[in-house]
Amino acid sequence: MPHDTSWTPEWVKHAVFYQIFPDRFANGEPSRSPENVEPWGSPPTFHNFMGGDLKGVIDHLDYLQQLGVTAIYFNPIFQATSNHKYNTFDYFQIDPHFGDLSRLQELLRECHSRNIKVILDGVFNHCGRGFYAFHDVLENGQFSPYYKWFNIESLPVFPYDESRPANYRSWWGIRSLPQFNIWHPPVREYILSVGRYWIEQGIDGWRLDVPNEIADHDFWREFRRMVKDINPEAYIVGEIWQDGSPWLDGTQFDAVMNYVLRDICVEFFAKGSIGADEFGRRIDALLQHYAPEVTSAQLNLLGSHDTPRFLTLAHGDLARLKLAWLFVSTYPGAPCMYYGDEIGLSGEGDPHCRGCFPWDETQWQHELLDFVRRTTALRHEYPVLRTGDYRTLHADNSTNVYAFARTDADSVAIVLINNHYHALTHAALPIDSLQLPDGLEFEDLLSGRRAHVQGGRLNDLWVGVRSGAVLYAQRGKPAD
């Protein structure tokens, strides 16, 4: 599987992402908190506020840098009335509970000085009821200059009266999220102007919310041209939960959020509902499905604000989460951790997966955090783990062991996943497909143990229960 990133940003394939839900990460400026803010760490609900803000992120950039993060993906930060900000009121204003333009500019300066990219969430399919154009329609009906901005079925519009059917198109029928009429030229130009403005302010790309519901590929082509004309290395990633192929032809998105990969990882690592053989087949199929330049730019996540926490799905088993993170951090594409996963946050689906980050370190799972830091550091240190060709070597249901290689002209890395309750001792792994010379020595970058190639096998392997190994060798380097 060769890697050619001819039309996707080069930096993405080297990146480690961190997703932040701003209201729940850190409160660095209490004076900005909503009047009804709840104590930090209160149980999350659909409507409560905890007071997180952009200053809180700035205050903890050293933590993120030590974690190995090189890119932050923010959930929406524009003016809105909800804690999640997906009901946008003003696309050109930072929500005052989070900060203002000067605070965002400070965040960008601080992140960029640390070589950390910043990606914002673009909610362009729908807006909030308080958006000025929709409000004008409520006031003026068919005489509003914005009447055609929305899909109005009848007048008057009933945005708040739950006793009446909603008579305008909205996202999933939710009245508070009226859907834009993307076919109306002024709407297209407005959304493009939003995308243009924030790229010009210095953000490094867009995560596009439900872009499949804007059923116009020509619009996304126009969006890409606009973004790339300003910054050719800007990242455009779409929230597509299934097959992203229609948007990944080189003219629209660079990549999608890799929920398909996440689902495979949940089944194999968290739930144990499939074995190594099925896992390997599905991984190989996924690798074959997209062009290599797409695979190398995919946003590879284990969870998000829209899913239960991975640790919850794994019934609190840290070993399962560590194995899953080891896999995605050595797999092609950009691994993305959801805030707090690295210290053991748990939670069922929305809103419970959106709890506050506990800055009291006594609440952290330090063993997990150390492991995430270590594997992230390995990804940064060894280029083959980022850009090497990928090859499945072994997938055995009887032992539930999965192994794959990342290879380039200079080195070979073999990642061994033991997703079983029995340790591997004195084990041998068939690697004849790699055509490596006898005597070549590999070092496990996690444990320090060594193994040697002999007769097309890597011998004397030791891997603990529900654990993994990252075996590394330089080509042509003789054993000591």
With beta carbons less than 8 A apart as the criterion, state whether 456 and 469 touch.
Answer: no
**Set 53, 121, 204, 209: catalytic member:** 209
Q: Give the helix ranges, DSSP H, for 121-237.
A: 132-140, 185-200, 217-230
Angle between helices 366-381 and 318-330 (to 10 degrees): 10
Phi, psi of 161 (to 5 degrees): -80, 100
Q: In what order do the strands lie in the sheet with 467-474?
A: 389-396, 401-407, 411-418, 467-474, 441-444, 450-454, 457-463, 424-430
**Set 222, 239, 341, 444: catalytic member:** 239
Question: How far, in Å, CA of 477 to CA of 479, rounded?
Answer: 7
- Partnered with residue 381 across adjacent β-strands are none
With beta carbons less than 8 A apart as the criterion, state whether 413 and 467 touch.
Answer: no
With beta carbons less than 8 A apart as the criterion, state whether 119 and 237 touch.
Answer: yes
Task: Please confirm, yes or no, whether 209 is among the known catalytic residues.
Answer: yes
Q: Got the DSSP string for 313-362?
A: HTTT-HHHHHHHHHHHHHSSSEEEEETTGGGT----STTGGGPPP---GG
With beta carbons less than 8 A apart as the criterion, state whether 411 and 382 touch.
Answer: yes
Question: How far, in Å, CA of 171 to CA of 175, rounded?
Answer: 8
With beta carbons less than 8 A apart as the criterion, state whether 61 and 118 touch.
Answer: no
Question: How far, in Å, CA of 28 to CA of 12, rounded?
Answer: 29
Task: Please confirm, yes or no, whether 239 is among the known catalytic residues.
Answer: yes
Q: State the DSSP H helix or E strand holding residue 405, giving kind and residue range, or none if neither.
A: strand 401-407
Given CA atoms 452, 456, 460, 462 in this order, what sign does their dihedral have? positive
Question: How far, in Å, CA of 72 to CA of 334, rounded?
Answer: 12
Tokens of 479: 């054993």
- Amino acid at position 324, single letter: A
Question: How far, in Å, CA of 260 to CA of 299, rounded?
Answer: 11
- Active-site amino acid positions: 209, 239
